[in-house]
């Protein structure tokens, strides 16, 4: 074996140990009593198998051949009791395992989601929702099989093998040895098959994640696919992934199925030899028919659990591969975290200014912001304008620490945002972002998100100010109407108004509005703007807008281009400057006069 392969195996073994310890400490230890009970019940179940095969001998020798009348009843009763006990033990054992396996799986999924929602944009940039859904649901199912495979496998099948082997040895140890003659031949192919399964199942889990990803994107982008006539192309992509999946999964499963087949080869040799040896001995009269039947029953019963046990090792590889990926996911640490205490307290409401000092930011290596500095004074409105892709939304993400600056500092109330508690920091902001997420809850719950304890009056006021009440009568259940998955039951403008109401209700010192009214018609926009400007008094407000008409009253306007601030001032002074802002303004003004001319 080459050195690198050996060291790879060593690393694998170390990883397996880590995963096993985690499995034990997080999921098994707390339920060890219940699981032991289930284990005992499984052992009881398999003991009954031993009892049954043992009873075959008196059945033949005493009852059927000797004709002992009294024994008929005893043996019949013992047989009946055996099967009754078996049924009850199996039901109780299975019930415990199913219950605990479901609980543990749910626990793991909750653990995963709880962990994933703390991670930052850097992580989600590389992990799509589809992949993550597959990870949370698909991979965690492995935990369910741990309980089933291990306890049922080892408890029932393991002890059945021991008990039945005991009966076989007790009946005739020489026959037993003869019967097992074929088994040593199976060792090497068995090991090879296991390796293959581990590899293929790791790959197939990966491809499964890809296919979930495609499904997720296809269903979310269904309208775009239909409008661009790309249905066939999308289906083709999906089919290619599925082809890969089929090939990997088939190989893993065939590998798994090959294990019991190997065992059957062993059985073929064993049964044949025993039949010859035992048959000749009975004809000679040195053994009874009852002995042989008892032995044969034990042997026949033995192969089933043995076959299951042998595929257990393969299944275990499959499970380990999944658990390892899950464990890995739980080890990912976010880059953006709360600093260790003591935390800087958030600034007083009237001191919540926003300052960027020479801030640069890059996704991977692409610079997005390059040395930005500005101050948005507390209680005033600062507007950010500039072409698409200039980095405006990125500035907002820095303020709320959705991302951290690669260089420079971001301050609110003169304090570095990285020295404040993350939850407290985010509690300073109400954000209406460019792509607001609504959830499949009622409109009421969507507005109350982020301010769950708001009073009914405050809710009504926010609804009025954001002009949500204008479209509520159009909806079947008004405020209690569900917004649909991602808010799909509402129009773009309606979604925006719900988002504005949500932000207003939060009543925080700083308000961030990113194209907050872009989807509204002119009349609604004017009305919502009026409500917003009432709200922005006394609050530090940052507004991003393409339509300059919405920012002309701002105390300060920042013009951004290619990750830099190129102009700064108020509407009048920027117009007088005759630079980018003036040009942008002239363009929009020309548009407007054209529209009004039409
Ligand atoms: N998750 C991301 N990964 C990599 N690059 C990104 C990511 N998000 C944004 N960018 C890049 O950052 C740059 C600035 O994006 P940003 O969203 O800040 O622009 P913007 O000024 O808000 O534009 P718009 O007016 O179109 O909303 C863009 O060039 C974009 O390609
Ligand atoms: Mg933007």
> What is the number of the ligand closest to the CA of 362?
1
Decide whether any atom of ligand 1 lies within 6 Å of the 388 Cβ. yes
Q: Which residue's CA lies nearest to atom 24 of ligand 1?
A: 388
> What is the number of the ligand closest to the CA of 561?
1
Distance from C-alpha of 502 to C-alpha of 442, rounded to nearest angstrom: 13
pLDDT digits (tens, 9 = 90+) for 517-529: 887 778 778 777 7
Task: Assign 342 to helix, strand or coil.
Answer: coil
pLDDT greater at residue 523 or residue 512: 512
Decide whether any atom of ligand 1 lies within 6 Å of the 97 Cβ. no
- Element containing residue 207 per DSSP (H, E): helix 187-220
Q: Which residue's CA lies nearest to atom 27 of ligand 1?
A: 388
Distance 393 CA to ligand 1 centre (A): 7
Task: Assign 46 to helix, strand or coil.
Answer: helix
Position 594 pLDDT exceeds 70: no
Span 549-563, average pLDDT = 90
Highest mean pLDDT among 146-150, 256-260, 426-430, 488-492: 426-430
Task: Assign 576 to helix, strand or coil.
Answer: helix
Distance 166 CA to ligand 2 centre (A): 74
Distance from C-alpha of 379 to C-alpha of 536, rounded to nearest angstrom: 8
Decide whether any atom of ligand 1 lies within 6 Å of the 389 Cβ. yes
Q: Model confidence at 592, in pLDDT bands (50, 70, 90)?
A: low
Distance 393 CA to ligand 2 centre (A): 4
Structural contact between residues 46 and 93, judged by C-beta atoms closer than 8 angstroms:
no
Q: Provide DSSP, 505-570.
A: HH--SEEEEESTTTTS-HHHHHHHHHHHHHHHTTSEEEEE-SSGGGTTT-SEEEEEETTEEEEEE-
Task: Assign 230 to helix, strand or coil.
Answer: coil
Span 226-245, average pLDDT = 89
Spell out the SS3 assignment of 134-185: HHHHHHCHHHHHHHHHHHHHHHHHHHHHHHHHHHHHHHCHHHHHHHCCCHHH
The whole-number pLDDT of residue 108 equals: 94
Distance from C-alpha of 167 to C-alpha of 53, rounded to nearest angstrom: 8
Position 530 pLDDT exceeds 90: no
Give the CA dihedral 5, 6, 7, 13, nearest 10 degrees. Answer: 110
Q: Locate 412 and state its tokens.
A: 């609110």
pLDDT digits (tens, 9 = 90+) for 488-508: 888 888 888 898 898 888 888
The whole-number pLDDT of residue 528 equals: 76
- Element containing residue 412 per DSSP (H, E): strand 407-412
Distance from C-alpha of 292 to C-alpha of 282, rounded to nearest angstrom: 8
The whole-number pLDDT of residue 188 equals: 80
Distance 380 CA to ligand 1 centre (A): 26
Which of 325, 332, 409, 385 shows the shortest CA–CA distance to 574?
Answer: 385
pLDDT digits (tens, 9 = 90+) for 384-402: 999 999 999 999 999 999 9
Q: At what angle do helices 456-465 and 492-506 cross, to 10 degrees?
A: 140
Tokens 């087949």 sit on residue: 261
Q: Which residue's CA lies nearest to atom 12 of ligand 1?
A: 368
Position 3 pLDDT exceeds 80: no
Domains in the chain: ranges and CATH: 23-331 (1.20.1560.10), 351-428+508-597 (3.40.50.300), 437-504 (no CATH)
Distance from C-alpha of 502 to C-alpha of 459, rounded to nearest angstrom: 9
Q: Which residue's CA lies nearest to atom 26 of ligand 1?
A: 388
Phi, psi of 367 (to 5 degrees): -70, 135
Mutate to test the pocket of ligand 1, among 369, 385, 391, 406 (most ligand atoms within 8 A of CB): 391
> What is the number of the ligand closest to the CA of 387?
1
Distance 363 CA to ligand 1 centre (A): 9
The whole-number pLDDT of residue 417 equals: 92
Q: Provide DSSP, 287-316.
A: S-HHHHHHHHHHHHHHHHHHHHHHHHHHHH
Position 168 pLDDT exceeds 50: yes
Span 537-565, average pLDDT = 89
This prediction's pTM: 0.77
**Average pLDDT over all residues of the chain:** 86
Distance 391 CA to ligand 1 centre (A): 6
Q: Locate 390 and state its tokens.
A: 């200039």
Mutate to test the pocket of ligand 1, among 362, 365, 368, 584 (most ligand atoms within 8 A of CB): 368
Decide whether any atom of ligand 1 lies within 6 Å of the 394 Cβ. yes
Decide whether any atom of ligand 1 lies within 6 Å of the 598 Cβ. no
Position 598 pLDDT exceeds 90: no
* Cβ-proximal residues to 118 (8 Å cutoff; 6+ apart), any chain: 334
Decide whether any atom of ligand 1 lies within 6 Å of the 583 Cβ. no
Distance 219 CA to ligand 2 centre (A): 25
Decide whether any atom of ligand 1 lies within 6 Å of the 393 Cβ. yes
Span 262-272, average pLDDT = 83
Q: Which residue's CA lies nearest to atom 2 of ligand 1?
A: 363
The whole-number pLDDT of residue 240 equals: 93
Decide whether any atom of ligand 1 lies within 6 Å of the 559 Cβ. no
The whole-number pLDDT of residue 595 equals: 46
Distance 360 CA to ligand 1 centre (A): 14
Distance from C-alpha of 559 to C-alpha of 557, rounded to nearest angstrom: 6
Decide whether any atom of ligand 1 lies within 6 Å of the 125 Cβ. yes
pLDDT digits (tens, 9 = 90+) for 282-333: 899 888 888 888 888 888 888 888 878 877 877 787 788 888 889 999 999 8
Q: What is the DSSP letter of 344?
A: B
> What is the number of the ligand closest to the CA of 386?
1
Decide whether any atom of ligand 1 lies within 6 Å of the 578 Cβ. no
Decide whether any atom of ligand 1 lies within 6 Å of the 392 Cβ. yes
Q: Model confidence at 167, in pLDDT bands (50, 70, 90)?
A: confident
Contacts of 579-586 spanning 24+ positions with Cβ under 8 A: 580/386, 581/385, 581/548, 581/557, 584/385, 584/548, 584/559, 585/548
pLDDT digits (tens, 9 = 90+) for 18-74: 999 999 999 999 999 999 999 999 889 888 888 888 888 888 888 888 888 888 888
Q: Which residue's CA lies nearest to atom 31 of ligand 1?
A: 389
Distance from C-alpha of 220 to C-alpha of 223, rounded to nearest angstrom: 8
Mutate to test the pocket of ligand 1, among 336, 383, 389, 518 (most ligand atoms within 8 A of CB): 389
pLDDT digits (tens, 9 = 90+) for 408-430: 999 999 999 999 999 899 999 98
Q: At what angle do helices 289-331 and 32-58 cross, to 10 degrees?
A: 160
Q: Beta-carbon neighbour count of residue 166 at 10 Å?
A: 14
Q: Which atom of ligand 1 is nearest to the CA of 395?
A: 18
Position 16 pLDDT exceeds 70: yes
pLDDT digits (tens, 9 = 90+) for 458-492: 999 889 888 888 888 888 888 899 988 888 888 88
Span 563-568, average pLDDT = 93
Decide whether any atom of ligand 1 lies within 6 Å of the 71 Cβ. no
The whole-number pLDDT of residue 18 equals: 92
Decide whether any atom of ligand 1 lies within 6 Å of the 195 Cβ. no
């Amino acid at each position: 074996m080459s050195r690198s392969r050996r060291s790879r195996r060593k690393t694998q073994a170390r990883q397996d140990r880590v995963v096993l310890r985690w499995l034990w400490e997080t999921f098994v230890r707390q339920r060890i009593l219940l699981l032991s009970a289930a284990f005992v019940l499984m052992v009881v179940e398999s003991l009954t198998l031993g009892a049954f095969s043992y009873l075959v001998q008196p059945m033949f020798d005493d009852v059927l051949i000797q004709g002992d009348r009294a024994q008929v009843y005893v043996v019949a009763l013992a047989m009946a009791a055996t099967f009754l006990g078996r049924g009850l033990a199996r039901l109780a054992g299975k019930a415990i395992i199913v219950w605990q396996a479901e609980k543990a799986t749910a626990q793991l999924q909750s653990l995963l989601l709880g962990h994933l929602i703390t991670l930052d944009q850097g992580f989600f940039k590389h992990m799509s929702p589809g992949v993550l859904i597959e990870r949370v649901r698909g991979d965690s199912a492995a935990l369910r099989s741990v309980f089933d495979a291990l306890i049922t496998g080892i408890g029932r099948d393991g002890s059945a093998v021991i008990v039945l082997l005991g009966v076989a040895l007790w009946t005739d140890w020489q026959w037993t040895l003869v019967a097992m003659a074929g088994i040593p031949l199976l060792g090497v192919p068995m090991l090879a098959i296991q390796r293959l399964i581990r590899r293929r199942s790791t790959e197939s889990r990966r491809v499964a994640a890809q296919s979930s990803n495609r499904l997720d994107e296809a269903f979310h982008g269904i309208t775009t696919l239909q409008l661009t006539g790309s249905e066939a192309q999308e289906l083709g992509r999906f089919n290619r992934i599925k082809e890969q999946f089929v090939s990997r999964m088939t190989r893993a499963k065939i590998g798994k199925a090959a294990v019991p087949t190997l065992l059957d080869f062993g059985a073929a040799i064993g049964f044949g030899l025993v039949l010859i040896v035992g048959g000749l001995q009975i004809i000679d009269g040195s053994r009874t028919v009852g002995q042989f039947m008892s032995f044969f029953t034990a042997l026949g019963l033995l192969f089933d659990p043995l076959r299951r046990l042998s595929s257990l090792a393969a299944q275990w590889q499959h499970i380990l591969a999944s658990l390892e990926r899950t464990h890995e996911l739980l080890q990912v640490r976010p880059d953006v975290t709360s600093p260790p205490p003591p935390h800087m307290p958030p600034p007083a409401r009237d001191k919540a200014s926003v300052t960027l000092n020479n801030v640069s930011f890059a996704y991977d290596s692409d610079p997005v912001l390059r040395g930005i500095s500005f101050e948005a004074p507390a209680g005033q409105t600062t507007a950010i304008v500039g072409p698409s892709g200039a980095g405006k939304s990125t500035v907002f993400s820095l303020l709320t620490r959705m991302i951290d600056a690669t260089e420079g500092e971001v301050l609110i109330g003169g304090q570095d945002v990285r020295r404040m508690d993350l939850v407290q920091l985010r509690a300073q902001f109400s954000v209406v972002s460019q792509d607001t997420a609504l959830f499949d809850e009622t409109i009421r719950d969507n507005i109350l998100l982020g301010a769950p304890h708001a009073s009914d009056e405050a809710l009504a006021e926010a609804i009025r100010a954001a002009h949500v009440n204008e479209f509520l009568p159009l909806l079947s259940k008004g405020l209690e109407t569900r917004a649909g998955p991602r808010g799909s039951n509402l129009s773009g403008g309606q979604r925006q108004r719900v988002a504005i109401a949500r932000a207003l209700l939060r009543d925080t010192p700083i308000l961030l509005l990113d194209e907050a009214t872009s989807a509204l018609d002119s009349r609604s926009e004017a009305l919502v703007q009026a409500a917003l400007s009432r709200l922005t008094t006394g609050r530090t407000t940052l507004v991003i807008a393409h339509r300059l008409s919405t920012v002309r009253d701002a105390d300060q306007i920042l013009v951004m281009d290619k990750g830099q601030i190129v102009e700064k001032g108020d509407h009048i002074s920027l117009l007088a400057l005759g630079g980018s802002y003036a040009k942008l303004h002239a363009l929009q003004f020309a548009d407007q006069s054209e529209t009004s001319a039409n």
